[in-house]
């Protein structure tokens, strides 16, 4: 058997992960709202935030295969941390964001120690239980969190000392977009690294991993912590750009929502969270006049439909239509 030319396997792997023109186009198009839809910049910033949150869930769900029904715990924790830091007098956005990131990361790491020990149903229930536990704790600690009224008195300073977070949303969207891009680049690098390969190994066949000498638990703890940091950053962005934090950020509702967004876009495809966020939030904005109950009715129908008919989400469906352009595991 003829062996490959030197470096060929390496070049093959390199080709798999190179930037595709469609991706560049996508990121350029994220600048369009500034020009085409300046009155929707607040919505755009919320889409970016939701996309970031969904991306963080994709790391653990789409790549490592961990089903979490309580991911909002880290989102809300980051949100409240950022909000409290500002409320207590330090309104500088970027450093507040970093503080929230670290806090969420610590919470993620601590919970990952427990979570990495379980699989299947027990894991799902523990993530659900943990999320509900944190939400209840936040509810009870109303002296800290403001309880059902939400956190009041969050006042942000100007971003980089120059840009005010106002109702026009320029600063908000620019801020959220930059953070999203940075997080995305990090996630992309992670997915394409040996660690990303190990995560996919865990998802593809958790049984085989110890048989090749892998410490799956350590891998899971690591990705879970990173995902918690990202979710916390998303939550902090929301707190800072909207200058408010509510219990809803920790709720099961929020955990279920981000799951819907990710599944809608397609898990395990890196862009699924962002695509899902765009579709979901735009649709919700269009229906915002309507009673919220009806919205959840249709989301329920959508979920049922996706499970029965479109298991790989929008991107998965597209992948089947355009195999050459989107060939990606």
Residues 67-106, interacting with other proteins (CB under 8 A): 67, 69
When asked if residue 211 is in the footprint of other proteins (CB under 8 A), the reply is yes
When asked if residue 194 is in the footprint of other proteins (CB under 8 A), the reply is yes
- In the complex, the smallest distance separating the C-beta of residue 127 from other proteins, rounded to whole angstroms, is 11
- Options 48-56, 128-136, 155-163, 230-238: segment touching other proteins (CB under 8 A): 128-136
Distance CA 278, CA 52 (A): 11
| Maximal CA-CA distance, the chain | 72
What the block records as the tokens of 155 is 């006042």
Q: Kindly tell me which of 135 and 177 has the beta carbon lying closer to other proteins.
A: 135
When asked if residue 47 is in the footprint of other proteins (CB under 8 A), the reply is no
Number of residues lying near other proteins (CB under 8 A): 80
Positive or negative, the CA dihedral 162, 56, 228, 216 is negative
- In the complex, the smallest distance separating the C-beta of residue 297 from other proteins, rounded to whole angstroms, is 3
Applying the rule CB under 8 A, the residues between 147 and 186 that interact with other proteins are: none
Distances from the Cα of 69 to the Cα of 46, 123, 261, 298, angstroms: 21, 9, 13, 20
When asked if residue 306 is in the footprint of other proteins (CB under 8 A), the reply is yes
Distance CA 48, CA 238 (A): 10
Applying the rule CB under 8 A, the residues between 225 and 284 that interact with other proteins are: 226, 252-253, 256, 259, 263
- In the complex, the smallest distance separating the C-beta of residue 167 from other proteins, rounded to whole angstroms, is 30
When asked if residue 14 is in the footprint of other proteins (CB under 8 A), the reply is yes
The three-class DSSP label of residue 270 is: coil
Residue 170 in contact with residue 39, Cβ under 8 Å?
A: no
What the block records as the tokens of 319 is 């992948």
When asked if residue 323 is in the footprint of other proteins (CB under 8 A), the reply is no
Q: Kindly tell me which of 200 and 244 has the beta carbon lying closer to other proteins.
A: 200
The whole-angstrom distance between residue 269's C-alpha and the CA centroid of its chain comes to: 13
CA atoms within 13 A on the CB side of 70: 22
Binding mask 16-35 toward other proteins (x if CB under 8 A, else -) reads -x------------------
- In the complex, the smallest distance separating the C-beta of residue 90 from other proteins, rounded to whole angstroms, is 29
When asked if residue 307 is in the footprint of other proteins (CB under 8 A), the reply is yes
Distances from the Cα of 57 to the Cα of 8, 21, 222, angstroms: 34, 25, 14
């Amino acid at each position: 058997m003829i062996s490959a030319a030197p470096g060929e396997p390496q070049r093959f792997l390199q080709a798999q992960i190179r930037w595709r023109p469609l991706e560049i186009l996508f990121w350029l198009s994220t600048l369009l709202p500034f020009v085409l839809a300046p009155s929707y910049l607040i919505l755009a910033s919320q889409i970016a935030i939701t996309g970031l949150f969904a991306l963080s869930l994709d790391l653990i769900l789409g790549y490592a295969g961990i089903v979490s029904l309580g991911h909002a715990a880290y989102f809300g924790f980051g949100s409240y941390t950022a909000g409290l830091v500002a409320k207590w007098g330090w309104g500088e956005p970027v450093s507040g964001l970093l503080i929230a990131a670290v806090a969420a990361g610590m919470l993620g790491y601590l919970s990952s120690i427990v979570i990495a020990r379980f699989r299947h149903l027990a894991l799902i229930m523990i993530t659900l239980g943990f999320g509900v536990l944190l939400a209840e704790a936040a509810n009870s600690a109303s002296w800290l969190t403001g309880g059902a009224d939400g956190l009041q008195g969050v006042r942000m300073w100007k971003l980089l000392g120059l840009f005010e977070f106002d109702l026009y949303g320029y600063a908000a969207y620019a801020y959220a977009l930059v953070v999203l891009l940075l997080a995305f680049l990090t996630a992309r690098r992670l997915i394409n690294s040996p660690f990303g390969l190990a995560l996919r190994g865990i998802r593809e066949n958790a049984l085989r991993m110890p048989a090749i000498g892998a410490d799956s638990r350590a891998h899971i703890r690591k990705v879970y912590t990173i995902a918690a940091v990202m979710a916390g950053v998303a939550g902090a962005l929301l707190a800072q750009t909207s200058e408010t934090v509510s219990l809803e950020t920790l709720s099961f509702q929020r955990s279920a929502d981000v799951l819907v967004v990710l599944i809608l876009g397609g898990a395990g495809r890196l862009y699924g969270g962002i695509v899902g966020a765009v579709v979901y939030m735009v649709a919700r904005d269009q229906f915002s006049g309507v009673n919220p109950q009806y919205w959840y009715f249709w989301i329920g129908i959508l979920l049922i439909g996706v499970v029965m008919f479109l298991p790989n989400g929008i991107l998965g469906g597209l992948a089947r239509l355009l195999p050459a352009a989107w060939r990606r595991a």
